[in-house]
Chains A and B, each alone.
Chain A
Amino acid sequence: MIPFVRKHSSVLSICGVGLLFALLPLVVKEGYLLNILVMIVLFAYLSQCWDIVGGFAGQLSFGHAAFFGIGPYVSILLNMHFKVWPWGGMVAGGLLAVAVAWLFAYPTFRYGLRGSYFALGTLALSALLTISASNVDFLGGAQGLLVPYYEQSFRYMQFGQKTYYYYLILAFMVLLLFFVNGIRKSRFGYYLSAIREDEDAAESLGVKTRKVKMVAMLISAFLTALGGTLYAQYMSFIDPEILSVPFSIEIILPAIIGGGATLFGPLLGAVVLISIKEGIRLYVGHAYTGLSMVVYGLILIGVIIMSRKGLVPLLSRVFFAKFKGEND
């Protein structure tokens, strides 16, 4: 029993966490709180997608909002003009995000842009797409696009109740956790870690760093774009803001604060950040949305100074101090 638990500890803990979140709507029935739950699982999902590039491979990308936004722009336009179901649209959006990611990343990695240079490049990508979307009428301009309403059904990904969206996004998040867990323990995952720790050393040991970074980037872009369509179906509209750098930062923060390159870091970060944001909104009111950003910023600085790897390593250090060697 015990060896079995130990061997499959991460798979079991994903099941446990998934079950816990699946049971939450039994207790939480109020619309406002359900909305918070949806945001938590959505941002946990998005941040986990970012973490494949930003955490595991250590490439600080500020451009993930670009990939995120491409998803719903494609799925909504296909839906509007050709009545394509969002399920097909989201895959198409994912593929376009992959294409854009490749167009961006090929020269970026080819010319060896790393660290600050890579970060600046992704910043420009996000800014460029935001401006383009705001100025093209076909893309809805600055006002954005509305998701056309057909009927409440699974195939059109439109539901009357928030719980349905919650379970849909939760399913994506749990599947992603299994996927990331698989990556973590695979050869590819070790390559990513090697690149994060020392790219030159990894290259000299025979890791094809450019190719590995590219694959991570493409996977991450595809999955992020899927999240974009989920978001759009839930919100039922999008505007160019979702392509912009500030949105990228919102995607990044849960993973950084929870702990990059860990299994549950993005989820923990999303729980902490979204709870704080909504708590402040509840008690202080809309006028003080700035306050939640101040708190976000302070948490970001505090977490990095205290534990540069985020909350999960910090907590496990405190938690498992007694049982040294028991945690993997």
Chain B
Amino acid sequence: MGELVSAIVFGILNGGVYALLAAGLSLIFGVMSIVNFAHGELVMLGMFGSFWAFRLLGIDPYVSLLLVAPVMFFLGMAIQLGLINRVSLDDHKQQILITLGLSIVLMNLATLLWSPNYRVIAAGYRDVTASLAGIQVSVPRIFAFAGSFVMIGSVYAFLKHTRPGAMIRATAQDRVAAGLMGINVKLIYAVVFGIGTMCAGVAGSLISTHYYIYPRIGSMFIMLTFVIVVFGGMGSIRGALVGGLIIGVVESVSAVFIPPSLKEATYYSIFLLTLWIRPKGIFGGNL
């Protein structure tokens, strides 16, 4: 019983970060109708950003987070303005292929530059645990969970309660009409891709304290994020939140009962079934 409870707590903590990953991908899909295949690599960049800040400059990951976030935002804007906006906004297939190309380039460039080795950030608090109602919980994981929630909350509030947020929602609903109302659609797309990239980077930074850091870690996250986004509903931030938590718990609880290989097979089966039965996901529809 104790094992089950701690698995659930562990799953919820991980799930919060997954939710942030999924929120970034989902936002981009909701506004631009494209799946960003480079999302996993952007998480990897966030992780390495914090890693190098720690290694070379001795900056703590929770401080470098404040650096990684704006850098990733502008990187995302640059990707959208420099690459994706160069093809027709209606041609989703070509846009997806550009993100695929980007993913291949980033993953392999990182391998070339930094070697495929696994690294860790050897901060003093890496293995510190806190006792919560008799369960030992890793402190960095609690911080990652809390940080993810703050980030998702900020993005949500930005979309719902600010003028640029309203412009983004308008563009998501009807790009052409938004353009006619004087909204600079290409700029909105760049901002959205920037926010999505920032979510990925911040998530990467938050987990860099307790995950192994290596160039190919992106492909692990991308499949997980796809599962969550499809399950929660592509384009929905609430869906990403709920989906992230559910998948996080399912993942850690099933690890107690079934072998890891079977666990992945269960994922993809859920994934396919959701696509077939309810492609909109549990919360599909709006941002």
Task: Tell me how far the C-beta of B168 lies from the nearest C-beta in chain A, rounded to whole angstroms.
Answer: 19
Does B163 interact with chain A (Cβ within 8 Å)?
Answer: no
Total number of A residues with any Cβ neighbor in B under 8 Å: 38
| A interface footprint on B108-137 (CB within 8 Å = 1, 0 otherwise) | 110110000000000000000000000000
Does B152 interact with chain A (Cβ within 8 Å)?
Answer: no
Q: How far is the CA of A291 from the CA of B112 in the complex (A)?
A: 7
Q: How far is the CA of A244 from the CA of B98 in the complex (A)?
A: 20
Q: How far is the CA of A134 from the CA of B264 in the complex (A)?
A: 12
Task: Tell me how far the C-beta of B26 lies from the nearest C-beta in chain A, rounded to whole angstroms.
Answer: 12
Does A80 interact with chain B (Cβ within 8 Å)?
Answer: no
Q: How far is the CA of A97 from the CA of B178 in the complex (A)?
A: 45
B275 in contact with A113 (CB, 8 Å) = yes
B104 in contact with A131 (CB, 8 Å) = no
Total number of B residues with any Cβ neighbor in A under 8 Å: 42
Known: A294-B109, A308-B87. A124 touches B94 (CB 8 A): no
Among A112, A117, A135, A305, which residue has its beta carbon within 8 angstroms of that of B87?
Answer: A305
Does A297 interact with chain B (Cβ within 8 Å)?
Answer: yes
B87 in contact with A124 (CB, 8 Å) = no
B268 in contact with A128 (CB, 8 Å) = yes
A290 in contact with B275 (CB, 8 Å) = no
Does A301 interact with chain B (Cβ within 8 Å)?
Answer: yes
Task: Tell me how far the C-beta of B192 lies from the nearest C-beta in chain A, rounded to whole angstroms.
Answer: 16
B108 in contact with A290 (CB, 8 Å) = yes
A138 contact set on B, CB distance < 8 A? none
Known: A128-B272, A298-B101. A304 touches B87 (CB 8 A): yes
Which residues from 233 to 287 on chain B have a C-beta closer than 8 Å to any C-beta of chain A?
Answer: 234, 261-262, 264-265, 268-269, 271-272, 275-277, 279
B87 in contact with A297 (CB, 8 Å) = no
A111 contact set on B, CB distance < 8 A? 275-277, 279
Among A58, A121, A135, A304, which residue has its beta carbon within 8 angstroms of that of B272?
Answer: A121
Q: How far is the CA of A119 from the CA of B93 in the complex (A)?
A: 10
Which residues from 110 to 134 on chain A have a C-beta closer than 8 Å to any C-beta of chain B?
Answer: 110-113, 115-117, 119-121, 123-125, 127-128, 131-132, 134
Does A276 interact with chain B (Cβ within 8 Å)?
Answer: no
A290 in contact with B111 (CB, 8 Å) = yes
A128 contact set on B, CB distance < 8 A? 265, 268-269, 272
Q: How far is the CA of A61 from the CA of B268 in the complex (A)?
A: 16
Q: How far is the CA of A305 from the CA of B29 in the complex (A)?
A: 21
Which residues from 95 to 109 on chain B have a C-beta closer than 8 Å to any C-beta of chain A?
Answer: 96-98, 100-105, 107-109
Task: Tell me how far the C-beta of B222 lies from the nearest C-beta in chain A, rounded to whole angstroms.
Answer: 9
Among B96, B104, B265, which residue has its beta carbon within 8 angstroms of that of A297?
Answer: B104
Does A84 interact with chain B (Cβ within 8 Å)?
Answer: no
A206 contact set on B, CB distance < 8 A? none
B33 in contact with A131 (CB, 8 Å) = no
Task: Tell me how far the C-beta of A92 lies from the nearest C-beta in chain B, rounded to whole angstroms.
Answer: 25
Among A112, A120, A300, which residue has its beta carbon within 8 angstroms of that of B97?
Answer: A300
Q: How far is the CA of A121 from the CA of B94 in the complex (A)?
A: 18
Known: A113-B279, A131-B265. A120 touches B94 (CB 8 A): no
B105 in contact with A294 (CB, 8 Å) = yes
Task: Tell me how far the C-beta of B36 lies from the nearest C-beta in chain A, rounded to whole angstroms.
Answer: 10
Q: How far is the CA of A296 from the CA of B35 in the complex (A)?
A: 20
Does A70 interact with chain B (Cβ within 8 Å)?
Answer: no
Does B91 interact with chain A (Cβ within 8 Å)?
Answer: yes
B102 in contact with A297 (CB, 8 Å) = yes
Known: A108-B275, A115-B33, A131-B261. A304 touches B94 (CB 8 A): yes
Among A131, A132, A301, which residue has its beta carbon within 8 angstroms of that of B101?
Answer: A301
Does B162 interact with chain A (Cβ within 8 Å)?
Answer: no
Does A107 interact with chain B (Cβ within 8 Å)?
Answer: yes
B101 in contact with A304 (CB, 8 Å) = yes
Binding site for B on A (CB under 8 A): 58, 60, 107-108, 110-113, 115-117, 119-121, 123-125, 127-128, 131-132, 134-135, 249, 256, 288, 290-291, 293-294, 296-298, 300-301, 304-305, 308
Binding site for A on B (CB under 8 A): 29, 33-35, 83, 86-88, 91-94, 96-98, 100-105, 107-109, 111-112, 223, 226, 230, 234, 261-262, 264-265, 268-269, 271-272, 275-277, 279
User: Besides the contacts A124-B268, A305-B98, what 14 more A-B pairs have beta carbons closer than 8 Å?
Assistant: A58-B93, A60-B93, A60-B97, A111-B277, A116-B34, A117-B275, A121-B275, A128-B265, A131-B264, A131-B265, A290-B111, A291-B108, A297-B105, A301-B98
